[in-house]
Amino acid sequence: MRYAIPRGLAACVLFAASAVAAGPTVIPSPPNLADELAAMFKNPPIEYRIQFLLRTNDEVTREDIDYQVRSIREQGGGGVFSYCEHLDDGSPERFLTDWWWKVVDLTASACAREGIQYWAYDEEDWPSGTAGGLLLKQHPDLTWKYLKQSKHLFVGPDPIDYSIEGDDPIVAAVAYKAKVTDIRSETLTDVTDRIEGRRFRWTPPSSTWVVAFYTVATGNVWNNAPYPDLMSRKVGDAIVDLVYRAHDERVRKLPGARIVGFFSDEPSISIANYPAGSLTPWVPAMPYSPDLPEAFQKQHGYELRRNLPLLFHYAGPEALRFRCHYWQTCNRLYCDHYFGKLYRFCDERGQIASGHIHVEESLMALLTLQGGNPLAIFRNMHIPGIDWIYPFQNALPANVPRYASSMAHLMGRPRAWCESFAASGYGLTFQQMCRLVNWEHVNGINMQIPICYKYSLRGPKRTQFYTPGISYQQPYWDHFRAFADYEARLCLLASGLGHVAQVALAFPNVDLWAHCWHHDLLNTRSVPYYQLGDELLSSPSAGSHPRSCPVCP
């Protein structure tokens, strides 16, 4: 069945299909551009060099930190992200403790002395958004939420005196008449004001009525831990204060040190309605935030509460319109109150807000975890990013790096990065690394964050988590400079020298919103959508290497 796109919800333009034009392109440039480029190509500046994710997972000393940061600079690195690795018997203490601030002081100072960039990873392990659990410890009411529905039949005009089960907070009660499985939308009646405590009392008109009660529930998410409501204005403010402002003020006190930017890693709007397998139970529900009703009314000009049954039941085009508006509002709150606050904080201080989202290669995940419009999220990053952590045999659709690189081009931002290698194992070779980064660069990536450089391999578990450890412990480390120089030169060439796009591919955000309950349908449509992106990349006009390229074995 085809549904009309609601007015005002035009699909977003996605990505350029080609990295280079089919024919020669004249790029206006100052007379000395060639000389400058040649000099930079010979010895790329630190901005174009690999920025290492330094996973600090043990007691630290100045001697060890100085040696490791110096080794990164000597082997061609351009910077360091401070990362608190606490999982699997990692760091001895938690994120934002005195131990962590010692790590920050030593690492930022070492970067300043070595003349490389210092960045802050904004979380303990992942996903970003919890401040190492401190946010919800201080504000337990700000946990993530989802909307549940329970329905009951009542026959009027008999009076109703019903006790609403459970203890989850009540959002609304809506009465309506149904025809088979569909709702008669003209009968929708908000009866929330008939609730006192948990007692619902109402005398319905004659006929049979359905009364749907909507409550707000919560639960644990990734790593089976509590997680905050990232649509909440209060959560964004708390993250800025607990993590961003605290790091900024700390590093400003260190002689010569500064934070270049921050990395926000795989946050989620919700996991309600996401089939995550054994990682977390599937919940047939919609994301919710206390900020949602007011924001919905302001953005769309009509009431949220009365229309809640349309999220769960079909009632013609009106239901599709409401679902689109609901998801659009959720995505906007997520963008404004989380990513937007981080972006504005960094922008005011001349720092870089960057990050990437979770499971970029699945349309279903982009709906349920990110609100169905990842491109709007990337507008709130100075440097948008992705991750591709698997070997080349675990193919990543070409659309995924284009999400980040296309938005960077559209927003006039010259960089897009990739977090690479983490699940590739200790047997990863330089040839395989080259093949991975070559594919990334063809798709617009021009900044590299290998995961990870491990501070310590002491004990069995530190060697197992996020392999390979690309660091001084590796026997090939003394030869890493050759790869680092190669990668820096590619990042330089792929940055800011002009972009020509012959084809744009629309991102199907409205299709995702309208069919949010039809998981099989969305998964089925994902296949040709991502295949199309791959075919555009491999077409002769795209200028890419053939799949049998001898340079990329």
What integer pLDDT is reported at residue 276 of this predicted model? 67
Q: Are residues 77 and 106 in the same domain?
A: yes
pLDDT band at 14 (very low <50, low <70, confident <90, very high): very low
Q: Are residues 122 and 194 in the same domain?
A: no
Q: What's the residue count for the chain?
A: 553
221 vs 227: CA distance, rounded Å: 6
What lies within 8 Å, CB to CB, of 342 at 6+ separation is 122, 236, 239, 240, 244, 262, 264, 353, 355, 380
**Alpha-carbon torsion 98, 101, 106, 107, what sign?**
positive
Phi, psi at 263, each rounded to 5°: -120, 120
Between 192 and 473, the higher pLDDT residue: 192
| CB 128 within 8 Å of CB 265 | yes
> Count of CB atoms within 10 A of residue 61's CB?
11
Asked if the model's pLDDT at residue 380 lies above 80, the reply is yes
Q: Report angle CA 227, 232, 238 to the nearest 5 degrees.
A: 75
Q: Cα torsion for 433, 439, 443, 449, to the nearest 10°?
A: -10
| CB 100 within 8 Å of CB 93 | yes
What integer pLDDT is reported at residue 10 of this predicted model? 37
404 vs 360: CA distance, rounded Å: 10
Long-range interactions of 455-461: CB distance < 8 A, separation 24+: 455/54, 455/55, 455/56, 455/57, 455/58, 455/60, 455/64, 455/68, 455/85, 456/57, 456/58, 458/58, 459/89, 461/88, 461/89, 461/90
Asked if the model's pLDDT at residue 171 lies above 50, the reply is yes
What lies within 8 Å, CB to CB, of 138 at 6+ separation is 238, 242
Extract the tokens encoding 507: 């991102």
Residue 375 lies in a domain: yes
Q: Are residues 506 and 396 in the same domain?
A: yes
Pick from 387, 374, 380: which is nearest to 346 by CA? 380
Asked if the model's pLDDT at residue 4 lies above 90, the reply is no
Q: Are residues 112 and 17 in the same domain?
A: yes
Q: From the CA atom positions of the chain, what is the Rg in Å?
A: 26
What integer pLDDT is reported at residue 32 of this predicted model? 56
| CB 369 within 8 Å of CB 358 | yes
Mean pLDDT of 537-550: 50
307 vs 23: CA distance, rounded Å: 53
165 vs 213: CA distance, rounded Å: 10
Residue 283 lies in a domain: no
pLDDT band at 266 (very low <50, low <70, confident <90, very high): very high
Extract the tokens encoding 514: 């309208």
Residue 150 lies in a domain: yes
Asked if the model's pLDDT at residue 323 lies above 60, the reply is yes
Tally the domains of the chain: 2
Q: Are residues 110 and 32 in the same domain?
A: yes
What integer pLDDT is reported at residue 278 of this predicted model? 62
Mean pLDDT of 134-162: 94
| 3-state DSSP of 409-428 | HHCCCCCCEEEECCCCCCCC
183 vs 210: CA distance, rounded Å: 10
Domain region containing 32: 12-140+225-266+346-542
Q: What pLDDT digit, counting tens, does each position of 394-412 carry?
A: 789 999 999 999 999 999 8
Mean pLDDT of 148-166: 94
Between 529 and 224, the higher pLDDT residue: 529
Boundary (domain end) residue, out of 156, 182, 217: 217
Q: Return the residue matching tokens 């090939």.
A: 476
Helix (H) or strand (E) holding 434: helix 430-442
Percentage of residues of the chain with pLDDT beyond 90: 70
Low-confidence winner among 138-142, 288-292, 324-328, 516-520 (lowest mean pLDDT) = 516-520
Pick from 463, 470, 398: which is nearest to 430 by CA? 470
Residue-wise burial string across 465-481, b where 16 or more C-beta atoms lie within 10 A, e elsewhere = bbbbbbbbebeeeeebe
DSSP-assigned letters across all residues of 361-383: T-HHHHHHTTTT-HHHHHTT-SE
Residue 78 lies in a domain: yes
What integer pLDDT is reported at residue 182 of this predicted model? 83
Asked if the model's pLDDT at residue 84 lies above 80, the reply is yes
pLDDT band at 38 (very low <50, low <70, confident <90, very high): confident
Phi, psi at 286, each rounded to 5°: -110, 145
> Count of CB atoms within 10 A of residue 33's CB?
12
Residue 388 lies in a domain: yes
Between 167 and 282, the higher pLDDT residue: 167
Residue 550 lies in a domain: no
Q: Are residues 419 and 534 in the same domain?
A: yes
Q: What pLDDT digit, counting tens, does each position of 94-136 carry?
A: 999 999 999 999 999 999 999 999 999 999 999 999 999 999 9
Asked if the model's pLDDT at residue 385 lies above 60, the reply is yes
What integer pLDDT is reported at residue 551 of this predicted model? 36
| CB 448 within 8 Å of CB 25 | no
Mean pLDDT of 445-467: 86
Residue type, 535: E
Asked if the model's pLDDT at residue 277 lies above 80, the reply is no
Q: What pLDDT digit, counting tens, does each position of 338-371 carry?
A: 999 999 999 999 999 999 998 899 898 899 999 9
Residue 259 lies in a domain: yes
Q: 430-442 and 480-493 helices cross at what angle (nearest 10)?
A: 10
Extract the tokens encoding 233: 């204005």
Mean pLDDT of 381-397: 89
Boundary (domain end) residue, out of 176, 192, 217: 217
Q: What pLDDT digit, counting tens, does each position of 293-322 carry?
A: 999 999 999 999 999 999 999 898 999 999
Mean pLDDT of 459-465: 76
DSSP percent split of the chain into helix, strand, coil, nearest 5 = 40, 20, 40
Q: Return the residue matching tokens 């079909």.
A: 314
What integer pLDDT is reported at residue 477 of this predicted model? 95
Mean pLDDT of 207-235: 90
Q: Are residues 16 and 46 in the same domain?
A: yes
Extract the tokens encoding 369: 């975890």
| CB 326 within 8 Å of CB 235 | no
Residue 463 DSSP symbol: G
309 vs 171: CA distance, rounded Å: 12
Pick from 376, 356, 366, 370: which is nearest to 416 by CA? 356
Residue 319 lies in a domain: no
445 vs 153: CA distance, rounded Å: 56
Cis previous bond, 418, omega within 30: no
Percentage of residues of the chain with pLDDT beyond 70: 88
Q: Are residues 368 and 507 in the same domain?
A: yes
Longest dimension (CA), the chain: 87
Q: Are residues 365 and 512 in the same domain?
A: yes
CATH, residue 131: 3.20.20
Mean pLDDT for the chain overall: 88
Q: Are residues 522 and 413 in the same domain?
A: yes
Q: Are residues 44 and 166 in the same domain?
A: no
Burial class (CB in 10 A: 0-12, 13-18, 19+), 331: buried
Q: Are residues 164 and 53 in the same domain?
A: no
Asked if the model's pLDDT at residue 279 lies above 90, the reply is no
What integer pLDDT is reported at residue 497 of this predicted model? 63
Pick from 439, 479, 488, 347: which is nearest to 19 by CA? 439
Extract the tokens encoding 378: 């990337």
Mean pLDDT of 82-91: 90
What lies within 8 Å, CB to CB, of 321 at 6+ separation is 6
